[in-house]
Amino acid sequence: KAGVTQTPRYLIKTRGQQVTLSCSPISGHRSVSWYQQTPGQGLQFLFEYFSETQRNKGNFPGRFSGRQFSNSRSEMNVSTLELGDSALYLCASTRTGLTGELFFGEGSRLTVL
């Protein structure tokens, strides 16, 4: 079966702009979670969606938002970009979110200039 698909894979933005990233989970998976990965920081949890509802949220400012559609596809948006938002943004899906095995996408690498 197809894996988790994230688009775009790479993007460059300037400070103050906004960006929308997309994630298509594995077919049948209803939980989608988002992570920010930066060198030396590990994965930082952004939020998790299950059946179109945000179930958990990490400690990120309100500039970071997300949503999930009825087909389980998810988007995350970052507004008013800052230099520190440069990172790899990873999406992961599971069937219910209550098991441990996350299936990750390849990520969207965002560079903010």
State which residue, 22 or 44, has the beta carbon closest to other proteins.
44
Among residues 17, 27, 56, 71, which is the contact residue for other proteins, using CB under 8 A?
56
Assess 11 for contact with other proteins (CB under 8 A): no
Give 54-61's long-range contacts (Cβ < 8 A, gap of 24+).
55/31, 55/97, 60/36
Any contact of residue 43 with other proteins (CB under 8 A)?
yes
**Strand (E) positions, 8-84?**
10-13, 19-24, 31-38, 42-50, 53-57, 64-68, 74-78
Q: Which residues bind other proteins (CB under 8 A)?
A: 4, 35, 40-45, 48, 56, 90, 97-98, 100-107
